Amino acid sequence: MLPAFSKWPREKKIQWILKDLPQANHIKKKIQECLHPQEHIQKNMEGLSENVLTNFILPYSVAPHFLINQKIYHVPLVTEESSVVAALAKAAKFWYTRGGFRTSVLSTQKEGQIHFRWYGDIQKLYDHWQWIKIKMLEATQSITEDMKKRGGGIQTIQLKEKKNIASFYYQIHVTFDTCDAMGANFINTCLEAMAKACQIYVTAQWPCIAFEIIMSILSNHAPHCMVISRVSCAIKDLGYIHGIAPPIFAEKFALATHIAHHDIYRAATHNKGILNGIDALALATGNDCRAIETAVHVYAAAEGCYQGLTKVSLEEDVFTVQLKLPLMIGVVGGMTRLHPLVETSLRLLQKPNAIDLMQIMAAVGLASHFSALTALITTGIQQGHMRMHLHNLLSCYKLTLAQREKAMVYFQNQVVSTQAVKDYIRKNVS
């Protein structure tokens, strides 16, 4: 084992990790190539995590001209999937001339839980609940001071009986408004202080009855932190999409959405198509993609069976697609001030607050979904996707610029697949 590996200087760590590997020098070169040339930026990156060897780069893109609530945004995106940015740019363009995206925030409440066991009569806790709450709030005073100034803080504190889950088990369910922060650290710090205060009160009051905190932590299930985005136009104004007449396209889009509502295999991929866009914007703005994915998927499962998150209406000859989902995100805290590009992303978006960003993100999710489903029900997903991926496939061969261009021209009218590219190269490039 390695004593204090995390304290070693970067170069020593790299040396040690590579010591028994074949081609260690080659790997070392690759690692060093990705260090940032500016020492202070590199230092910042190393501060973000532990045992940092170098930087991992992903393409930072932009989807221009998103019309959201009558305002134009150029949306920064970080994704490795070649077709996501193209899909977003396409959807933005399509809806730009059809009223754009309409969004609204329904709620911004975040939630956390203190899980505990108490071996006494629960009525005792209910009788003292007002006092316990006061003690818990007092314990968070210094933590919440700043958040309160900004209009946020702890909203409600509720005692819940959960004996159906385990004997003597209860929860304190707390709701929060964390303003422009995602709020995970704030919530967890509050909950831990509250748990301690509760424990002190209860054990002082009933020293002979066991009271035990199990854990105190925010929940990534966020069904009260919801946003809606919507696109809508007269069915006839959809125009012909890849040769498909507007009413037929609209009906097929609605059917595909209906299927995702009832079939778990399809629902999974339907929702992934929404998250492809959302995660790209979340990364660019320094938000936690795991938290976002969790909240969205858990919400999709919250009614008892996992469902697609969009709805389509065709009433009165108007085509409307609506996406409703939880988004627990922030524009301050976390990486915001430390990362060299997160602040840039927020500037590109004209310095949104958390409520603005929730809406932009919901629009982006709907856009990425709209393009994906449109491709699926018309040309098939592979035509566009593989055309984007063609560049990657060709990059695996050492081609001259002329050879590459010739290949690009050839595949304009051909099905692109890994195999097809391989065959083409074998036949045409010696």
Segment 23 to 82, residues that bind a second copy, using CB under 8 A = 23, 27, 30-31, 33-34, 36-38, 41, 44-65, 74, 76-82
Establish if 210 lies at the interface with a second copy (CB under 8 A): no
Sign for the pseudo-dihedral over CA of 349, 350, 354, 360: negative
Of residues 144 through 163, those in contact with a second copy by CB under 8 A are 145-146, 162
Q: Which of 180, 192, 288, 356 is catalytic?
A: 288
Of residues 350 through 379, those in contact with a second copy by CB under 8 A are 350, 373, 376-377
Query: Any bridge partners for residue 247, and if so which?
Result: none
Q: How far apart are CA 238 and CA 232, in angstroms?
A: 10
Cβ closest to a second copy, residue 128 vs residue 173:
173
Establish if 420 lies at the interface with a second copy (CB under 8 A): yes
Cβ closest to a second copy, residue 104 vs residue 199:
199
In DSSP notation, 128-164 reads HHHHHHHHHHHHTHHHHHHHHHTT-EEEEEEEEE-TT
- Residue 398 annotated among the catalytic residues of the structure: no
CB atoms within 10 A of CB 127: 11
Cβ closest to a second copy, residue 242 vs residue 290:
290
Question: 101 near 230, Cβ under 8 Å?
Answer: yes
Establish if 214 lies at the interface with a second copy (CB under 8 A): yes
CA-to-CA dists, residue 241 to 3, 131, 164, 260, 370, angstroms: 63, 64, 53, 22, 12
The one segment of 11-19, 130-138, 235-243, 356-364 that binds a second copy by CB under 8 A: 11-19
Cβ closest to a second copy, residue 86 vs residue 314:
86
Q: Which of 173, 272, 311, 406 is catalytic?
A: 272
Cβ closest to a second copy, residue 123 vs residue 142:
142
The one segment of 99-107, 143-151, 225-233, 357-365 that binds a second copy by CB under 8 A: 143-151
Nearest distance from residue 127's CB to a second copy, in Å?
26
- Please tell me the count of residues contacting a second copy according to CB under 8 A: 153
Cβ closest to a second copy, residue 132 vs residue 284:
284
CA proximity to 273, closest of 245, 287, 253: 253
If you search the block for the tokens 């609506």, which residue do you land on?
322
- Residue 128 annotated among the catalytic residues of the structure: no
Of residues 307 through 346, those in contact with a second copy by CB under 8 A are 333-335, 337-341, 343-344
CA proximity to 160, closest of 169, 151, 149: 169
- Residue 272 annotated among the catalytic residues of the structure: yes
As a residue count, the chain comes to: 430
- Spell out a b/e string for 212-237, using b for 16 or more CB atoms within 10 Å of the CB, else e: eeeebebbbbbeebbbbbbbbbebee
Q: How far apart are CA 136 and CA 401, in angstroms?
A: 68
User: Which pair of tokens denotes residue 416?
Assistant: 């692109």
CA proximity to 34, closest of 67, 7, 56: 56
Establish if 429 lies at the interface with a second copy (CB under 8 A): no
Nearest distance from residue 315's CB to a second copy, in Å?
18
Nearest distance from residue 214's CB to a second copy, in Å?
6
Q: How far apart are CA 119 and CA 106, in angstroms?
A: 39
Q: How far apart are CA 282 and CA 275, in angstroms?
A: 10
In DSSP notation, 377-400 reads HTT-HHHHHHHHHHHHHHHTS---
Q: How far apart are CA 34 and CA 378, in angstroms?
A: 41
CA proximity to 95, closest of 321, 272, 324: 321
Of residues 380 through 419, those in contact with a second copy by CB under 8 A are 380-382, 385-386, 388-389, 391-392, 395-396, 415, 417-419
Q: Which of 115, 270, 369, 385 is catalytic?
A: 385
Establish if 224 lies at the interface with a second copy (CB under 8 A): no
Of residues 255 through 314, those in contact with a second copy by CB under 8 A are 255-256, 258-259, 262-269, 271-272, 275-276, 279, 283-284, 286, 288-291, 293-295, 297-298, 300-302, 304-306
- Residue 385 annotated among the catalytic residues of the structure: yes
Q: Which of 36, 46, 81, 224 is catalytic?
A: 81
User: Which pair of tokens denotes residue 410?
Assistant: 């050839």
Nearest distance from residue 391's CB to a second copy, in Å?
5
For a second copy, the binding residue among 228, 348, 399, 425 (CB under 8 A) is: 348
- Residues designated catalytic: 81, 272, 288, 385
